[in-house]
Copies of this chain bind each other. A is one copy, B any other.
Amino acid sequence: MSMNVGLPAYEQIREILREEIITGEIPSGTNLKKAELADRFGVSPMPVREALQWLKGEGLVSALPHRGYKVISIDEDFIRNIFEVRTAMEELLARNSIPHRADSDIDKLIAINEKIAALSNHEQLNEIVSLDKLFHTTLYQYSTNPIASEIYEKYRALIYTLRKNCGFSSNRLAEITDQHSEIIDSIMKGNEGDLEKLIRKHKNGAMDDLLQRFKIAQSI
Contacts and interface: CB of A to CB of B under 8 A. Distances in A.
Interface of A: 46, 50, 57, 59, 77, 80-82, 84-85, 88-89, 91-92, 96, 144-148, 150-151
Given A88-B89, A89-B88, A91-B88, A81 B46 contact: no
A134 B57 CA distance: 24
Number of copies of this kind of chain in the complex: 2
Nearest to A88: B88
27 contacts: A46-B46, A50-B50, A57-B57, A57-B150, A59-B146, A59-B147, A59-B150, A77-B144, A80-B145, A81-B145, A81-B146, A81-B147, A81-B148, A82-B147, A84-B145, A84-B148, A85-B89, A85-B92, A85-B145, A85-B147, A85-B148, A85-B151, A88-B88, A88-B89, A88-B91, A88-B148, A151-B151
A158 to B, nearest CB: 10
Nearest to A77: B144
Contacts of A84: 92, 96, 145, 148
